[in-house]
Amino acid sequence: MKAVVIGESSGATMETIMRVYPRHKAVADKYIAKGQVIGIGPFSDKGNMAIFKTREAAEEFVKEDPFILEGLVKSFVIRDWNDTMIPE
């Protein structure tokens, strides 16, 4: 079972987002390098989504992501996802 983190934008300016982005990218790159991230990125409304191979990885990620810790993501939810197209 995979896990999806869906975040809602706080409405932060693009300037604020880009100031925090390098630290966010460093955390994301760590999980990508470990092979835990299937996909990650923003929605057109500045919300965001990340798909992880495990719920544990998703839970660890949200505890250290600067976008979440510094309030650029107003709220988030982690949902278990059964990807029926791609085998585990």
Per domain, the residue ranges of the chain are 2-75
Are 51 and 37 in contact by the 8 Å Cβ rule? The answer is yes
Distance CA 27, CA 35 (A): 13
User: Residue 87: is its pLDDT beyond 80?
Assistant: no
| pLDDT at site 88 | 59
CATH code for the structural domain at 2-75: 3.30.70.1060
pLDDT digits 0-9 by tens, 2-61: 999 999 999 999 999 999 999 999 999 999 999 999 999 999 888 999 999 999 999 999
What predicted TM-score, i.e. pTM, was given to this entire model?
Answer: 0.91
Q: Quote the pLDDT of residue 46.
A: 82
Instruction: Pick the more confident residue, 87 or 49.
Output: 49
